[in-house]
Structure formats: C-alpha cells, structure tokens
Amino acid sequence: MSYCLNPACPNPENLLDTEHCQACGSVLLLRDRYRIMQNLGHGGFGATFLAKDEQLPGSPPCVIKQLRPVASSPHVLQMARELFKREAKTLGKIGNHPQVPRLLDYFEANQEFYLVQEYISGLTLQQEVKQNGPFSEAGAKQFLSEVLPMLQYIHSNQVIHRDIKPANLIRRTQDKKLVLIDFGAVKDQVNPTRAGASEQTALTAYAIGTPGYAPPEQMAMRPVYASDIYALGVTSIYLLTGKSPKDLDYDPTTGEMMWGKYVQISEHFGTVLKRMLDVSVRHRYQTAGEVLRALDLEPYLDSLAQSMAKPTKAAPIKPALPDYSLPSGELSSGLFPSSPTARMAAAIRARQAKAAMDSSSGLSGGTRTRGTGGPRISTMTSGDRTSSSSEPPSLPPKLNANELLHAYSKGKRDFTYHDLSLLNLSKITLANANFHQSKLHKVNFQGANLFNADFGRASLSQSVLKNANLARAYLSHADLQGADLRGADLSYAYLSNANLRGANLCGADLTGAKVTDEQLALAKTNWATVHPNGKRGLW
C-alpha cells in the first residue's frame, strides 16, 4: 500500500508504487525518498506512519511523524512546532543509546514538519499485558532493572521524558530489549478532559503527560527528574495488576493511588513502589540510581533493624549500604523516626518480635545452645534444621517434594526463605514461583520449568539445572557455584552479581541475559553456549 499524507484526502489508501494519490492527486513519495505504507496513529498535533526508505538498499522501514495540528491558530501551530523541534533535538542528543530510537531525518515540506525515526518492531508492554496477563514480582523487578539504567542515561543528558507509560515501552522483537519511545510528540488535542478519557497524552500550555501516569507537579507544569520515577512506578503497578490508573481508587485525603489490595508482592518491594509513587516530590526517590539501590536492599534489612533497635545510639550503617533512604534535605541523625527507613525498620522489628513469640510458644522443648565459641547457634526441637542468629527468627517449615508440588498446585507461589536442599524436583513446573533467599543446595531441577521464577539471593550451589527453563528468571546475587546448567534456557534471565564460579554453562542459552563478561569467565562454556549477544562459541 502507498498511503497519502494529505489530511484532507477522502481515500488515502493507494496501490503500491503509485506516484500520485488517485483520490486527491498528491505526490505519494515524500521528499522523493519515503513511501508511506501504513497509518500507525494520530492525534491533535500529529500523525505517525510506517514508511520505507526507497533510497537505501532493501528499502528498510522507518517511522515518520508528521506535524498535523487540528487547530490552525498561530499559538497552537507554534506550540506544536516547538514540541517537534524539541523531540528532534532530544533524539539527536540521546539517540545513540541502544534502547532509544535513533533520529534519521528532520525536515519541513509543504509547510509541514516531519521527524524520521528508527522503526522498532515489537509489542508495547500494554499489548503484552493484554495478551499474556500481569507480570509476577520477579518480572516487574526485571522490568525495572532494565528500564532504570536507561532512565539514568536519559536524565544524565538533562532530559525528562514526561510520558513514561506501558504504551511507550516496546519490547524489540529481534533482541527482546525494552525501547522507550515518544520523546515529546503530542498525541492529543489541547483538551485535558478528553485526554483523561482516552488515556492519551495531554497538553495544557507546556504540561505534557498522561493523566494517572504523570504526578501532580508535572501536571502543574513543574516536571522534575523524579516525575519520571513516579510514572515508572505507575507503569510497574499496571504490569503487576493489568489495571490502568483510571481503574484504581485514590485516597481522597492524600491523593495516593490505592493499589495494595491488587498485588501479592514482598513487603520490601511494596515499600520501594510506595516511595516511587509518593505524591510528594520531596519524599519520592530523586534519581533512578536511588531506586536501583533500593531494590537491592534485602540483604541489609536484618542489620538495619538491629541498628535501629538501640534508642541511645544508632549503630553505624555498613559502608556497602549507601544513605539513599533519606528524603532530600533530611539529615542523618539519631533514629530519624520520620524517615521511610525508620518506619521500615520498625515494621521489621515488630514482625520479628511476633515471629519469635509465635516460635517460642509453639516449641515443646525450647531452644538449646551448642558450643562455647564462635557464633551462637539455636537448634529448634520441632524440626531438623538449624539457624544462626543472622537468619530470620522464624523460618518456614521444611517441605518435601510432594508437599511443595501440592502447595504450588493449590496456587501458592511464595517459597521465600524455605530450605528445599537436596530435593528431587526434576521435570516439574514451578513457573513464576518466588524462591527469594531460599536454600536450594544440590536440588535436582533437571528439565524443570522455572520460567520467570525469582531466585534472588537464593543458594543454588551444586544444584542440577540441566535443560531447565530459566527464561526471564530473576537470579540477582544467587549462588550458582558448581551448578549444572548444561543446556539450560537462561534467555533474558537477570544474573547480575550472581556467583557463577565453576557453573557449567555448556550448551546453555544466555541470549539477552543480564550477566557480565567477568561472571562468565568464571563459568564453564563451550562452542554450543549461546552468549548474551546471541552468538555461539567459547568465551
């Protein structure tokens, strides 16, 4: 098809390779180069088209945005022109990032402005959720781990996107990486009411954003970098629930989105999301880097609670835990009782105290200590496991293979902190299960379906994962030392900081996986190993 760009054309569809529109007579080959193939969408200020560049070999596809304001007043035209120029300048500055579409051309023809961009083939996250359903917690964490570094890069170039939402994030078909699109082009009329109804981008003066995704300060025309953090938080809620902001209730007093009852996530992840979504800019995360560090806070929760437990003098925080939890301008002194960290620590202490009381009341023989030197060890008489003082006071009961499978079949997905070492779980399905910080030493997962499972900080040393499906699994900081991963599907798995020393990755598929060269250098690979770049061969 050869599509006509004339807004007034009564029948813009023409046969391929036609030189002039059969309905209105307009020239169809834009700038003697770009042939429009399909209308991808339009709004009050512009239209977007799929085109092909006939001056290049193979006529590769591209995306063309045409400035097409509905209103003809000089004010509206000037506003639209400035927005398009801004988008061109932004894409020209940051378009060398692999997750941002490149600007290919920018020109004016027949008193209309055009942007030519790289074509990104794939589904938007909005389409993904509608087709496949909501994400798991591990999936949402993996989404954030991929988008936050990109947002860091964008902000480092003094750019605020202002319209982050599921419809503006495309999972590229060829490498499955997320690409952020739409840097400034407006898709709706100067009418916030209509925009709110259709969930399209609204423009009021220069306030750009999608109602529900844009925070209050942005809609008040005062966007900051933290405004993108809020929009990313709302996007995460959409991925977890499948519900858009207009389908959720808001607290009439604070204006906060009420999403908690729709998700089943860990307390810590919920705390991170809540701060991302704080309506107060001052108390929200200020940078993408702060959110990235907060998502890695789990291993410090116990020590943090202990340091907060002393009212006379706060224990020093370990150097490995940056002081990113305080709101901007809040000084670190004493217990900082009003900070989110203090509230979180108080919740941890209360939960641990309750667990300890429940545990002690249920024991028949109490606890006994062994040895006179080294760390204090408590042996629970109601089970065969031991725990050091650094572990949670009350661990889940040890499950055998049948009990685990029965619980999973009944809908249970949370197996955090469980001790499942030495179990034979070959060829079973545990997709989307949460094994965060669980003990899985020498577990037999051969041929198991572990798609999108969360193994963050889990101990999988010497486990058998041969031919297992670990696609999109979350394995951040997991211990995989000596694990057998021959032939495993680790495509797009998140292996950041995982211990791969001695792990056997011969024949494993690591396409798109988040893993460093240094990590892979510690593992065993062979000619059949597919590396993150999609190529086979020895490391």
- Pair type for strands 377-380 and 202-204: unpaired
**Other Cβ atoms within 10 Å of 369 Cβ, number:** 9
* Residue among 411, 412, 382 nearest 398 (CA): 382
Question: What is the residue whose two structure tokens read 């801004």?
Answer: 86
DSSP 8-state assignment for residue 227:
H
* SS3 of 441-502: CCCECCCCECCCCECCCCECCCCECCCCECCCCECCCCECCCCECCCCECCCCECCCCECCC
Amino acid at 370: R
Q: Does 454 participate in catalysis according to the annotation?
A: no
Contact indicator for 298, 437 with CB cutoff of 8 Å: yes
**Cβ density class 405-418: b for 16+ within 10 Å, e for less:** eebbeeeebbbbbb
Contact indicator for 338, 355 with CB cutoff of 8 Å: no
In the set 53, 163, 479, 484, the catalytic residue is 163
443: burial class by Cβ within 10 Å (0-12, 13-18, 19+)?
buried
Question: What is the residue whose two structure tokens read 């009782």?
Answer: 337
* Residue among 470, 499, 490, 500 nearest 530 (CA): 490
Residues catalogued as catalytic: 163
